[in-house]
Structure 1
């Protein structure tokens, strides 16, 4: 069955995509997605968790009432999330918990405002204190890298297919941003390791084009020819000539 999004929802998603294109700052991106989940997907409480090096989930971005803001920095274990996932049921591509002794272990927040639930209390589709809707974020290998959880749908009812589809689009944007951030961090680390190994090598080491022009040299090479490893292209060309001349004189 196809689920159509309203014009307002599509415009909100387009606006978010335009905003995200202007930054590579992961925190700004996650904060923007949280706010879009409130404004576009129509949930009043949102929390985004990221998995850190320790394997624990940490709340890094939130939107909602002051009590939700207090969740920032909270930690939960992978085991607690496994319990939450096991106790949930599929709901239009997301995961929904409806309350039991085995739930509410990973997300330590419950809406205590009874008046919020009152308008729909008699509706069989009513959202309750025991409900939670969430999605796990994964990388290409299928490993968990985070989770997005929401509460307090503005309708007061368990979300329908269209609302869940909107939320899933936003969740996948968070997932994509996190994967890209991790890849960038890994690339930067690899560059740092390479640079350290290259510069600290005791032997004279240089990388040159087929034309003989030097692209990079290590510290030992630079010490011999009196140049720093970090230099403009014009200096590299002059060094190339010096090195060639030194080789010919030998």
Structure 2
């Protein structure tokens, strides 16, 4: 008996354990009919396992509410932890009808000890299986019938049944808890897979062990392109080693922002503009150790909105050139670099400001209208970008004024650039329709070189002075400031 009891709960299959219980009741205690009712997820008790005459198979699947069982147990005669019923009025889910009535009637025991009595067909003995620490919370009920002796159980048999019931309850509780945990794990798994929020599970090396459908859809990937890959293959982390070290400091269930905004990499290397935020929470597994659940939030729309706001804040909406405030920031930075990097600078490299003004632009607005004036500004801006380098700073300074901050090999190259810009605007004017004000459009440019100590206001003032001279010189549209 104890050897069988010790085997209960080994493994996680509840049906195997229930079968062990039935066999022990039949072989050790001597009852020839056993039915085990086990609580279900809905709280009712269902006949899950039977052992005995074939007629008992019809009981499998029968149910009775927990309240019904508690009422039945309360109405029964307490035999210690057991409950004994003499009444034939039992629920049909309880195996109480002796299929071998003639056996007991034809062969009564020759002598009956004082503490027992002959077993009758209407008798039933119930072993309630209580959840540990929970009063009146049933895990199940074992119903036994047809004692091989033909007698009600004696004190020793009752004690064995009580002991067996406690051990069986503990075993069922363990397996039932395992089943509930498995069901919960399956539920969590389904919730993870079906969640609309993109999620990843990473191991301690930040390799992906699981990814839900929302993430693979977001990243245009199939599972094989995600599972087993480092998170660095999926998102452009600023510093992978630093991220890994930071996550190593997290306590269980602690979370951290892995990346507020980083590029989502296409699994097949395609170019696209997708941005995500990555948040990680540490979740350890007893078997596989430290893991992280990562929530991946799509930040593409937010980034695009911010870029649009930044575009409006930094760029002139008409021409697409930098605004004056941005130009001043660059001018300050360039002046600072001239002072700090003087020793490292190539003596052949020159930095200068080109202060540009459109001559006769007011006449274009007044004669041809503001729309024509806007078209002229757009065309001039196009030519300024066309003749400058990507590293040059080209700004619309206000109205019909433009400022360029350029770096070239020597001042001659900068002066040559200014002349090309003047010629480009002359070509624009020459191509305009006859009789339009654009035909008399021209560009004047004043140039001031950055010389240490470079002061932004002084450089601009020098370039503005050179521009004034250029505008008043009918023959020379470009003037260079000289000390």
Instruction: State TM-score, norm by structure 1.
Output: 0.73
Q: Is the 8 A contact 1:92 1:161 kept in 2?
A: no
Paired residue for 1:191? 185
Establish whether residue 164 from structure 1 lines up as the match of residue 158 from structure 2: yes
Gaps of 5+ in 1: 1-11
Larger Rg: 2
In the alignment, the residues of structure 2 paired with residue 29 and residue 19 of structure 1 have an alpha-carbon distance, to the nearest angstrom, of 6
Q: Which residue of 1 aligns with 2:124?
A: 132
Instruction: Return the alpha-carbon distance in structure 2 between the equivalents of residues 153 and 79 of structure 1.
Output: 28
Identify which of 46, 62, 68 aligns with 2:56.
Answer: 68
Cα distance between partner residues in 2 of 1:209 and 1:45: 52
CA distance in 2, matches of 1:127, 1:18: 33
Q: 1:14 aligns with which of 3, 8, 22?
A: 3
Structure 2's unaligned 5+ residue stretches are 239-261, 264-483
Contact persistence 1:46–1:148 (CA under 8 A): yes
Larger displacement relative to structure 2 (115-124 or 43-52): 115-124
Q: Does the Cα contact within 8 Å between 1:218 and 1:229 map onto a contact in 2? A: no
Partners of 2:140 and 2:225 in 1: CA distance: 39
Counterpart for residue 97 of structure 2: 110
Backbone CA RMSD of aligned residues: 3.3
Q: Deviation per CA, 1:47-104: give whole Å up to 9, x if none.
A: 111233454432221222233344333333445433421221221321122x247x43
**Structure 2 equivalent of residue 4 of structure 1:** none
Q: Which residue, out of 42, 60, 72, partners 2:30?
A: 42
Q: Give how far 1:203 is off.
A: 4.4
Matches within 5 A, 1:23-34: 23-34=11-22
Decide which moves more: 219-228 or 181-190: 219-228
Residue 241, structure 1, aligned to residue 232, structure 2: yes
Q: 2:38 is paired with a residue of what secondary structure? A: strand
Task: Quote the offset at 1:214 in angstroms.
Answer: 4.8
How far, CA to CA, are the matches of 1:165 and 1:231 in structure 2?
59
Q: How many residues in Structure 1 have an aligned counterpart in Structure 2?
A: 231
Q: Write out per-residue CA displacement over residues 158-196 of structure 1, whole angstroms, 9 at most, x where no aligned residue.
A: 222321222223323432333233322322232233333
TM-score by length of 2: 0.41
Task: Provide the rounded CA distance (Å) in 2 between the counterparts of 1:71 and 1:64.
Answer: 12
2:222, 2:91 → 1: CA distance? 59
